[in-house]
Each structure stands twice: as C-alpha cells, then as structure tokens.
Amino acid sequence: MKVLAAMSGGVDSAVAAARAVEAGHEVVGVHLALSRMPGTLRTGSRGCCTVEDAMDARRVANLLNIPFYVWDFSERFKAEVVDDFIFEYQAGRTPNPCLRCNEKIKFEALLDKAIALGFDAVATGHYANIIETVNGRELHRASAEAKDQSYVLGVLTQEQLKYCYFPLGDTPSKTLVRQEAAARGIRIAQKPDSYDICFIPDGDTRGWLKEHIERTPGEIVDQSGEVVGSHDGAHGYTVGQRRGLKLGRPAPDGKPRFVLSIRPVSNQVVVGPREALAVARIAGGRMSFTSEPGFDIAQSFECEIQIRAHADTMPARARLVAITETNRTEQHRAEATHEMIIDPKTPLTGVAPGQSAVIYIGTRVLGQFTIDRAISVTEGDTTVDSGSVAAGS
C-alpha cells in the first residue's frame, strides 16, 4: 500500500510512520506548513507547527529512510481555520479550531491531494481505531480511554474514513509509544505534547482576539435584563466564566455570577447563578456522519455525547429534526435545514454555542454537530441571539 505519513514533528506521528514502514508499506513523509511566519522554536509544550517541528519531522524521515516533503497549506489554514475562528467569536460562539483543522486541512485538503497523487491512505499519529464491518468502515475509540482521540476525528466523513490509517489505535498508552520511539532511536521520544491553539502559542486567546476583532463596549446584564456591569468587547467572554467580570452590582444573594451567554446582536453578556449553567438540552447543525447509523435517526435513540476533547461521555437520547418556519429560532444558522437535538440524562455544564458535540453508539463514532442552542435547566434557552449571522449548515 502507498501511504502518505503526516509528520507533525511529534513522537506520535513519528512512531506511526515507523510502524507503517515496518508493515511493508511504501511510505512518504509530509509535514504541513500552516503559517507563513512560523516560530523558530517551541516554548515547552506551547503550540506546534514551528520550524523546529519541521526539522524534527525531517530527521525522523531520514532515520526511516523515506522521502520527505513540506507542503504549504498556510493560505487554506488561514481561510478555513483562523478566519473561521474569528468569525465564530464575532458571532458569540466558542469554536474548536483543532476540529476545524482536522476537518478542513488534515482530512480534506491533505487527503484530497494525497488521493490525487495516487496514495492509498494517509497515516497519522491519532489514537483511534478503524473497524471493517459489513456496512463499511467505522471509527471507534482507541483501546486506551485516557489517550483516545476519536472526539477530534468526529468530523471525518464516511468517504474520508476509507483513506485513513491510524497505526497507534491499539496502543494501550502514550508511555509505550515513547518507549518504542526511544528503542527505534527516534530522538524526540520525550518531546512534550503540544497544547493550546497552534496559532495562539502563548495561550492568551482573549489578548489575541483583541488584536483581530474590533472592540465594541457594551452591557453586562442579568437574566432579567437589568444592567449589572459593562464590557469592552463581548468576544472576550466565554460561557461559564467567573473571573474578570468586574460587575458593578453584586447578586441579591451575594453569590458569584457566571457568564451564561453572549448576545452579539445586542452586544450584551448575560450573567447569572451557577445553577443556570446546567443544560438540559443541546441542539445544532453543521452535521456530518462518520458511519451509517443503521437505524432511523429521526426517531429518538440512545447514545452517548461528548462536548469537549477531554470531557467524559454522557448518556443521552438524540434525534434529528427538520427546521421549519414554525420552529426556526434566531439561534438557528440561516442555512440550516435540520438539527440534531440531544437530551442528556443528567444536565451538562460549561456548554457554549460553537462547541462540537460528538455522538457515540458504544465505542463507535456516529458523527458530530456544532452546538447552536443550549437550553438551561432553570431559565430556558440561554444561547446567543446570532440569527442574523449565517455560517451555513
């Protein structure tokens, strides 16, 4: 099999490429340049995609004696990931740029180019399993729950899954991968994992957004609409935030207040008690399905839902419904025709519109959608009034 190994410069992708070579495949390594002005060196575990990472990937390719290339995807990365990130924050949502990068860059742009060049598969260092079934390929959780990365792969389509190759899926732990890397003579065996958003390597998302989004002062209001403070830009707040609100008026009961929602149309930040963060229902569009459901998803079905990369899955019931003029709300994206509705069996917390929700049936990834609406246990719908902002479905 002719395999294109995506090599980030980290230990996971290095061992994945090594295993592909060892399995007898014809392997070519590629590193994706996602920034026109990449940093020269990493700062500990901060960020990724630096010049140092590209050099590390090249050294591993030389060790494995495979061809190695650097592909410049910086323009597409800016348009599909960075600009989308800015747009979503302007709309009062909290996006996940890593999922968008997987969707638009690593498993769309890269995969399309690999197929056009005659490769049979793209190998990455993700921890997830692909299982062949009578209904085609299915994406499943990795054997190690602690390192499972199926959540960030929930954006894959059934067609894309045909060309994916995850050599690390059956590996019980990251420790074993590091030990294997050291045994193979790979110098980056103990290289720290990257975290934070790669294009915001210092981790200061609010500061970065201030440089890219025009700040418009507005009101901070409570659930009744009473003004309790002011802000210098609604995009600087996230659902669940407690610190940094600088409210001029304390809550009647003296308890702390939290950000419940962002309203970009009225430029307001809504705050309230902790209990109002408990969410009884989430709903949204921008859906994709990794595998064939095998049942009618318009009928309520049992599943598990995960709303963040490192969150636990929660048991829930789900169903797909049509959006009509009768039930359309201002929270629906303008072009959406259907939405997935999820009723968790216990309330969710820290839910923000813009997050990706991945649906599981057992260990199988069914698909994902972007949360548009989060309905509070105590106060009803607490989502943004972003109906005038169209982002597609």
Active site residues: 101, 198
- Say how far apart CA 295 and CA 284 lie, in whole Å: 20
**Whole-angstrom distance, CA of residue 374 vs CA of residue 278:** 9
* Residue spans of beta strands (DSSP E) within 277-354: 279-289, 301-306, 314-322, 338-344
**DSSP assignments along 76-102, one per residue:** HHIIIIIHHHHHHHHTT----HHHHHI
Q: Which helix (H) or strand (E) holds 369?
A: strand 364-376
**Nearby residues of 57 by Cβ (< 8 Å), 6 or more positions away:** 7, 8, 9, 13, 14, 29, 31, 68
DSSP code per residue over 223-285 = TTS-EEEEES-GGG--TT--TT---SS--TT----EEEEEETTTTEEEEE-GGGG-EEEEEEE
Task: Say whether 289 sits in a helix, a strand or coil.
Answer: strand
Q: Considering only CA atoms, which of 290, 20, 2, 31 is closest in space to residue 121?
A: 2
Contacts of 352 (CB under 8 A, 6+ apart): 93, 94, 238, 239, 240, 371, 374
* CA 368 – CA 306 distance, rounded (Å): 9
For 189, the token pair is 């065996």
Q: CB under 8 Å to 339, separation ≥6 — which residues?
A: 283, 284, 285, 287, 320, 321, 323, 332, 369, 372
Specify whether the CB–CB gap between 106 and 6 falls below 8 A.
yes
- The structure tokens listed for 6 are 């995506």
* CA–CA dist 1, 341 (Å, integer): 41
C-alpha dist (Å) from residue 206 to 37, 84, 198, 232, 243: 21, 16, 15, 12, 13
